[in-house]
Structure 1
Amino acid sequence: MSCVIAGGGPAGAVLALLLARSGVEVTLLEKHADFLRDFRGDTIHPSTLRVLDELGLADDFLKIPHRKVYGLDMVTDEGHARMASLRELPGPYNYIAFVPQWDFLNLVTTAAARYPSFTLIMNAKAHGLIEEDGVVRGVRYTDPSGEHEVRASLTVAADGRGSDLRRAAGFTPREFGAPMDVLWFRLPREETDPDETFLRLSSGHLMVSIDRDTYWQLAYVIPKGGFDRLREQGIDALRQPVATLLPHLRDRVSAISSYDEVSMLTVALNRLERWHRPGFLCIGDAAHAMSPIFGVGINLAVQDAVATANLLAGSLRSGAPIPDATLHRVQERRMWPTKVTQFAQRTVQDRVISPALARRLTPPRVPANLSRLPVVGAIVRRFIGLGVRPEHVAIQEVQPAG
């Protein structure tokens, strides 16, 4: 086996597809029986849409039910402001596509399954590394039938922010902290409701409202570790701020019958200082957990996968050992965009979210359309839409699909 990847999220699935497409023998381990988990990141930005286009998957992706969002808006107590417009991005992908993450992952793994060098094993929880003479030679995993091993020239940890393989490798991320956690839930949508996705900001409260056509997907930001305290106050402690912040939903907040219908995201912001050791590499959330600010987590993970495939596919296909210096090239290429993105997220946390949650924030007065400012608008548009260093597929398809 040339490569084994632990974790069937965006980073692992896209890397597996790219490697299989280039003729590399690759096994992808996913610990769940399917990809159906609600309230996972599902914002597909233009950078990822371009990658899908380069892989010939854009048309199939656009057949999946989705919603296009062309701008990001903020609503304060003072009024409405357009923070970013993506319409001016070059090319056909000048929007963010909201699509359930499981549909995205099914699309990617279905495409990968067309290549004979790809193997997907579901219900396979990777928990340990096979090491010989200081080199990682593969992974141990369990499934319903028991304990198994996969030996490979390269083992990739793409198993998320709580990565078991990262821990097994002896890696500990540097924590930057986050002042908040996020509660995700749904409310029905009516035709007379606003038709936009926006951030609602008020002193003491932040909420993201995402229009999903038939329902609202809502994210209520709470102080870090505050969920138990909120639960103790009863469900009205959640209903009341929703009704206050979003008056058009006031008549529907009773649909939140209990906290059992609420999913909490424990927000983390961290990164590894070293992503690799001989025979082993971390990418995606296993290398850098991102805050939900700007909704770029999936897209950073996909960019990691593209860079990894571009740099390593040739060596993996040849069967030659991959020098640690080559693995370091992946880290070098992706560390800078990670640092810049996390710096921007930390700035928003420190200057907006923390003061707002502490009721020290006076909602800022901003131009009605910030995106029209020549320099600022262009920078924000590119940062959100394409990221700091967008990657492009540079490896050729070696084995055509059957």
Structure 2
Amino acid sequence: MSKKPVVIAGGGPVGLVTALALARQGIEVVLLEAESQIPQDLRAGTFHPPTVEMLDRLGLGNAMLEQGIKVPEWQIRDRRTGVVAQFDLGLLADVTPHPFRLHCEQHKLSRIAADVLVSMPNVKLLFGHRCTGFVQDAEGVTVKVQSENGEDEIRASWLVGTDGAHSVVRKGMNVEFDGFTWPERFLVFATPYDLREQGFTGNAYVADPDEWCAIFIQPHKGPPGIWRIAFPTKPEMSEEEILSDAFVQSRIQGFLAPDREYEIAYRSVYRVHQRVASDFRDGRVLIAGDAAHINNPLGGMGLNSGIHDGVNLAEKLTVVFEGASQDLLDRYVRQRRLTNIEYVQAITIRNKRLLEERDPAVRKEHLDELRQTAADPARARAYLLNSSMIASIARAREIQ
């Protein structure tokens, strides 16, 4: 086995899980994270059944289950008429030991994984260290690093970029980041008001041609948790206007009861993209997670697909370290890029278009189809295999 480590640029959950998957196999890993510590903000927080299984195999599952909320049922609603369809992941209990969505903030996974990694002798976690570029040759990669101590270089056997949508690693590769940006931005805010009092399951998507929304519960200082709600906003609105108390209150008041003020614990606004890198590999440099693909959050697939990338890549890098051909890494690219296009991109785009459909006839047709799907156990099962990402994992295994 090479003595040169694998360097991972980006210490978010995907980078940390990738590092752990490699380190569990005895591979030396250096992880670079530009921030001085793990961010505590409310970002992605939905883990699908196959992702929980992967975390189980890495020894992280129990801690995640202890800190998260199990959400076995989720709804699609029409804003005017109420529940259209309710799906129960219990239908998949024969194919997964975790027939639920696990809601848990991503920073908790990051902390759990980091706590394991710091105890491993073959891992270096370097917070406050930013990858600024690289130069590769046939034998390895020289990674350029910036920290408060100045510039440095690390010699690596492989470089893995998990450094997000603005990835320095991807930009240094000979690849494009193809796709598009949605015109509207998303307002996301959190409230401790318990939406279960209004009949909501822990996860719900509400269709409306003018103002759809997505809702999910997150753990927060004990029961009943905190509820995150995502709304679209008009492209011409300023960020200041979107984040104002008046606008945020008007969104939730229009959605729930207009005659009260709601506590708002968190708010943010961000642009949403659908993009996939033209390749996930350039020689000894690879990318995973948001560095490789980004999508809208409707369906909770972005973080999950990134973790699936990291585990898949670690499996193949381990075999390459043991002497297998480097061509095996091209299979990683084929498996993860194609399934991202076929499942993650396709499903998240379809989810958004379903929620915002304006044509009454098309809207009725789509909602009626969902009603029929939820009422038929066989069709509901097939639907859940896709939405839970179990089908995408199975599809990836088929790709040679």
Displacement after TM superposition at 1:256 (Å): 4.7
The corresponding residue for 2:320 is: 315
What SS does the corresponding residue of 1:293 show, helix, strand or coil? coil
CA distance in structure 2 between the aligned counterparts of 1:12 and 1:234, rounded to whole angstroms? 34
Displacement after TM superposition at 1:99 (Å): 0.8
Displacement after TM superposition at 1:269 (Å): 0.7
Q: Deviations over 1:217-274 (max 9, x none)?
A: 2211224x44417818964333223212223x75233x459xxx52112111100121
Matched, 1:215 2:226: yes
User: CA separation of 1:146/1:236 partners in 2, compared to 1, >3 Å: closer, same or farther?
Assistant: same
2:176 pairs, out of 172, 190, 202, with 172
CA distance in structure 2 between the aligned counterparts of 1:337 and 1:150, rounded to whole angstroms? 33
Map 1:59-98 onto structure 2 (within 5 A): 59-64=62-67, 66-76=68-78, 77-89=80-92, 90=94, 91-98=96-103
Larger deviation: 21-30 or 230-239? 230-239
CA distance in structure 2 between the aligned counterparts of 1:130 and 1:199, rounded to whole angstroms? 45
User: CA separation of 1:370/1:72 partners in 2, compared to 1, >3 Å: closer, same or farther?
Assistant: farther
Q: How does the TM-score come out when normalised to structure 2?
A: 0.85
What SS does the corresponding residue of 1:211 show, helix, strand or coil? strand
Map 1:274-293 onto structure 2 (within 5 A): 274-293=279-298
Matched, 1:246 2:256: yes
Given that 1:182 and 1:219 are in contact with CA atoms closer than 8 Å, whether structure 2 keeps it comes out as yes
CA distance in structure 2 between the aligned counterparts of 1:305 and 1:345, rounded to whole angstroms? 21
2:160 pairs, out of 156, 160, 167, with 156
Given that 1:130 and 1:151 are in contact with CA atoms closer than 8 Å, whether structure 2 keeps it comes out as no
Aligned residue type for 2:158: L
CA distance in structure 2 between the aligned counterparts of 1:293 and 1:118, rounded to whole angstroms? 35
- Report runs of 4+ in structure 1 exceeding 6 Å deviation: 358-361
CA distance in structure 2 between the aligned counterparts of 1:243 and 1:182, rounded to whole angstroms? 17
Given that 2:187 and 2:242 are in contact with CA atoms closer than 8 Å, whether structure 1 keeps it comes out as no
| Percent of residue pairs identical | 22
Displacement after TM superposition at 1:146 (Å): 1.5
What SS does the corresponding residue of 2:347 show, helix, strand or coil? helix
Q: Deviations over 1:126-148 (max 9, x none)?
A: 11112347x76131121222112
The corresponding residue for 1:110 is: 115
Aligned residue type for 2:119: R
CA distance in structure 2 between the aligned counterparts of 1:360 and 1:120, rounded to whole angstroms? 55
The corresponding residue for 2:305 is: 300
CA distance in structure 2 between the aligned counterparts of 1:159 and 1:298, rounded to whole angstroms? 13
Displacement after TM superposition at 1:72 (Å): 1.9
Matched, 1:47 2:50: yes
The corresponding residue for 2:348 is: 345
Q: How does the TM-score come out when normalised to structure 1?
A: 0.85
Matched, 1:19 2:22: yes
What SS does the corresponding residue of 1:294 show, helix, strand or coil? coil
Displacement after TM superposition at 1:276 (Å): 1.1
Point out where structure 1 has 5 or more consecutive residues left out of the alignment: 395-402
Which fold has the larger relative contact order, with Cα–Cα distance below 8 Å and residues 6 or more apart in sequence?
1
RMSD between superposed Cα atoms in Å: 2.9
Point out where structure 2 has 5 or more consecutive residues left out of the alignment: 219-223
What SS does the corresponding residue of 2:391 show, helix, strand or coil? coil
Q: Deviations over 1:358-401 (max 9, x none)?
A: 9998566436574332443112211122343327xx9xxxxxxx
User: CA separation of 1:351/1:73 partners in 2, compared to 1, >3 Å: closer, same or farther?
Assistant: closer
The corresponding residue for 1:236 is: 246
Aligned residue type for 2:312: A
CA distance in structure 1 between the aligned counterparts of 2:75 and 2:65, rounded to whole angstroms? 24
CA distance in structure 1 between the aligned counterparts of 2:117 and 2:374, rounded to whole angstroms? 38
User: CA separation of 1:112/1:246 partners in 2, compared to 1, >3 Å: closer, same or farther?
Assistant: same
Given that 1:23 and 1:317 are in contact with CA atoms closer than 8 Å, whether structure 2 keeps it comes out as no
Q: Deviations over 1:261-316 (max 9, x none)?
A: 52112111100121111111111111111221211111101111111111111323
Displacement after TM superposition at 1:104 (Å): 0.6
Aligned residue type for 1:211: I
Provide the aligned length of Structure 1 versus Structure 2. 380
